[in-house]
Amino acid sequence: MSTSKLAGIALLLAVAFSLFDGAYLVNETEQVIITQFGKPLGQPVVDPGLRFKVPFIQRVNRFEKRFLEWDGSPNQVPYAVSKGAVLSLIKSLGNAYAKEGVFVNGVEPGRALTDMVVPRFSAEHIADPGNPLGRYSDPEEVAEVAEVLLNERNTYTTGSVWSVKGATG
């Protein structure tokens, strides 16, 4: 094969590969952010369809479009995730060990007036706990719920989480 034919084939392959790397498809459930050397370029691409980028230099980063924006405090994200994991674990263990007669339940306490809570809040905050009952729980109230779940008469409740939060959900 002649050198000019090889150069032509190589050029054709380079152009095809560049076009292949330069085109990307956005589907309707995702959004795309294009980055160049790790820095975002422009606004996210949210409209579905065929799009083009600079080959080899720009990178396509895909994200679910259906994510909801977090409107809470950023330091609450790890708490919310870990709390959800614990609730899921209780339900899973309750289901897994029910046939063996092992009852796994949880108690989800709200703020109780304990030695840990009282020093952390102002008198105004303690006076208005912000729940529909208008008061904090006593530690004994939380203990009484745990006592019900641990009682030998509990022969049916498993995989559940009992809330003692003064109607705060």
In percent, the amount of the chain with pLDDT more than 70 equals: 93
* Domain 76-164 CATH superfamily: NAD(P)-binding Rossmann-like Domain (3.40.50.720)
End-to-end Cα separation, the chain, in angstroms = 77
Strand (E) or helix (H) holding 23: strand 23-26
- Domain map (residue ranges) of the chain: 3-64, 76-164
The pTM for the full model equals 0.52
In percent, the amount of the chain with pLDDT more than 90 equals: 37
- CA 60 to CA 65: how far, in whole Å? 15
Provide the token pair at 145.
């719920």
Torsions phi, psi for 94 (to 5 deg): -60, -40
Known catalytic residue at 156: no
The radius of gyration of the chain from alpha carbons, rounded to an integer in Å, stands at 29
pLDDT the model gives residue 119:
82
Mean of all residue pLDDT scores within the chain = 86
| Helical segments of 41-138, H only | 76-96, 123-127
pLDDT digits (tens, 9 = 90+) for 53-109: 988 889 999 888 776 666 667 777 787 888 889 999 999 999 999 999 999 999 998
pLDDT the model gives residue 169:
58
pLDDT digits (tens, 9 = 90+) for 36-46: 988 888 888 99
Catalytic residue among 79, 97, 136, 156: 79
Residues across the chain:
169
